[in-house]
Amino acid sequence: MIATFVCNTPIGALGFVVEDDSITKVEFNFEGEVLDKTSALRKETENQIQAYFDGRLNHFDLPYTLAGTEYQQRVWQALTQIPLGSVMTYGALSDQLQSSARAIGGACRRNPVPVIVPCHRIVSASGIGGFAGQTSGILIENKQWLLNWEAQLVATCS
């Protein structure tokens, strides 16, 4: 069974697609039909998303399923190890995984659950880089907002 729900956030409506009690997709500016109004996973997701945007949560503990290649899975796993408020360049992660920066970017672009798997923490050596396949516009603004927000949280807690 597939279910969808929305969490309103400071960066817009995040849409969640759930299959078999596992989040399979997060979409920015979601405008689809809400098919889940009461599930326990929806409530827990709402609680954790709210806690993240309130500055009370720095790592998500939600069930999610990532459909992708073995390589993409390795990249996505590595992304979950980048601490809140930190960034890593495409090149640094490619060195760590013995890959190429371009391949890292491709895996980040295909991350099905952004924010939960923090692909926004990967940046270019010369700037912010891309986000969800975009290099300008609202998605880049969202990436910059998330990076600024997390940096502010870390600075406040230090």
Active site residues: 119
Burial class (CB in 10 A: 0-12, 13-18, 19+), 65: middle
Q: What 3 state SS string does the chain have?
A: CEEEEEEEECCEEEEEEEECCEEEEEEECCCCCCCCCCCHHHHHHHHHHHHHHCCCCCCCCCCECCCCCHHHHHHHHHHCCCCCCCCEEHHHHHHHHCCCHHHHHHHHHCCCCECCECHHHEEECCECCCECCECCCHHHHHHHHHHHHHHHHHHHHC
Is the distance from CB of 46 to CB of 15 less than 8 angstroms? Answer: no
